[in-house]
Copies of this chain bind each other. A is one copy, B any other.
Amino acid sequence: MQTVQAIANIPARVPSAKPVEIFGIPGVSGFSMRFERNEEVFGEQEEADFLYKIVSGAVRTFRVLSDGRRQVVGFHLAGEVFGIERGERHRCSAEAITDCQILLIRSSAVEKAARASAEAAYWLWDLKSVELERLQDQMMLLGRKTAAERVAAFLLEMAGRGASDTVVDLPMSRCDIADYLGLTVETVSRTLTQFQRDGVIAMPSHRHILLRNRDALAREEA
C-alpha cells in the first residue's frame, strides 16, 4: 500500500495535475488522484497535508488497536469531504473501499482561506458540525443498541444516503459493516438473514439490499 506522502512525490501517478477550483473559495484548488480498492489513502499519524473530496467511489476511515481490533469511524461516498484535521496529523486511517477518484486539496490553502474568510471558516465549522451530529448518533448506537437495532439503523442510514430509498447498495464488505457497528461479521450476517426471513428486506445479492418494509425496520431501530 502506498502512502499519500509517497504518492505525492510521484507526479506520474497524478492523472490531473491541473488545479481545480473547489468550494468556490479563491486560491483553494485540488488535483485528482485514483486509488484502487483497499489502497490506503492516508494512515493514522501521517501528516495531514491534504483534505480529500471523493469524485467517485467510497472510502472508509477507521482506527485500529494494537491487537488488531478495528473501529470504522465512517463511510464516505461520492461528493463527500473527509480527512480535515485540527492538528498536524491524521487521527484515523483511510482506505478506498472501491476504486476511487479523489480530489486532493492542500490543507494549508484551506486553513489560509479559513483564517482570511469568515465564509470559508463557517463552511468548515458546518462540515465538522454535521460529522459531530452523526458521531453522537453513532455513540448511542454503539453504547446502547442491540445488534438488530444497529443493523436496522445502518440500513436506514445507507438508504438515506443513496439515490433510491428502497434499494440500498453497499460498497463495503460485511466486515466493514461489522467494524462500523461494533459487532462481528457473523452477527451482521445472521441479523440480515433474520430480517430477510421476516420479510423486512430482500437480498438479491450480497451488496444489494431491498427494503421491503421500511416501517418495520424503523421500529426495529428503536
Contact = CB atoms under 8 A, between A and B. Distances in A.
A125 B124 CA distance: 6
Range class of the A interface residue count: 35 or more
Contact of A91 (B70, B136, B142, B181): B136
A205 interface: no
Is chain A's interface secondary structure helix, strand, loop, or mixed overall? helix
Contact of A115 (B91, B118, B131, B222): B118
Interface stretch (A59-67, A160-168, A196-204): A59-67
Interface of A: 63, 65-67, 69-71, 73, 85-86, 91-92, 114-122, 124-126, 128-133, 135-136, 138-140, 142-145, 179, 181-182, 222
Given A65-B140, A121-B125, 20 more contacts: A63-B136, A70-B144, A71-B139, A71-B143, A86-B130, A86-B133, A91-B133, A91-B136, A114-B118, A114-B125, A115-B118, A117-B118, A118-B118, A118-B121, A121-B124, A128-B129, A135-B135, A135-B139, A139-B139, A142-B182
